[in-house]
């Protein structure tokens, strides 16, 4: 799976301010899984590549204080659904 974003504000500009963006995936009937940090560069672009065993899932990005969070707690900034 590859997620690329453009024009995503730095997480410290969110309300409330956060330190990192975290990418989550959630298969139907399962808890959300932290798939890693989405780092935003000076041009406000970011990219994350990872793997998942699921063919169908929701993907979303939240601002978080802790990039190792085990459950989403911060503000959600992006969401999408992946289907085969």
Domain that holds residue 73: 2-82
C-alpha–C-alpha distance, residues 22 and 65, integer Å: 10
At 52 the pLDDT is: 95
Report how many domains make up the chain: 1
User: What was the pLDDT predicted at 59?
Assistant: 98
pTM over cut 0.85: yes
Beta carbons of 48 and 38 less than 8 angstroms apart = yes
Low-confidence ranges of the chain (pLDDT < 50): none
Give the Cα separation of 26 and 33 in Å (integer): 6
Supply the CATH number for residue 58's domain: 2.60.40
């Amino acid at each position: 799976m590859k997620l690329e974003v453009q024009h995503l504000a730095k997480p410290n500009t969110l309300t409330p301010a956060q330190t990192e963006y975290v990418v989550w995936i959630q298969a139907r009937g399962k808890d959300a899984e932290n798939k890693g940090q989405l780092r935003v560069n000076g041009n406000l672009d970011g990219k994350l590549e990872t793997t998942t065993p699921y063919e169908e899932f929701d993907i979303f990005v939240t601002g978080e204080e802790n990039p190792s969070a085990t459950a989403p707690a911060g503000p959600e900034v992006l969401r999408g659904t992946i289907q085969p």
